[in-house]
Amino acid sequence: MDEPFHPAQVAAWRRMSPAEKIEIAMAMYWEARDLKADYLRRRHPDWTADEIEAAVREIFLLATT
């Protein structure tokens, strides 16, 4: 990201407890999994729910940065 964070956002993060930050991170993680599952459902309409979940699990297991 080339632009620095807005000072109001930085202040909000600093006010958060570690538990709140973890809660937000976990919510983002599960939302990303839901978005990936939705994408796979549209791309592979013939896949079962179990196949979608297995694919999502594998994608997130093997994800790298």
Single pTM value for the model: 0.78
CB atoms within 10 A of CB 23: 12
**44: amino acid identity, one letter:** H
Q: Which residue, chain included where needed, has tokens 């956002």?
A: 9
CB atoms within 10 A of CB 47: 14
Phi/psi of residue 46, each to 5°? Answer: -85, -10
Question: Per residue in 20-64, pLDDT tens?
Answer: 999 999 999 999 999 999 999 999 999 999 999 999 999 999 987
- Show the CA angle centred on residue 48, arms to residues 46 and 54, nearest 5°: 120
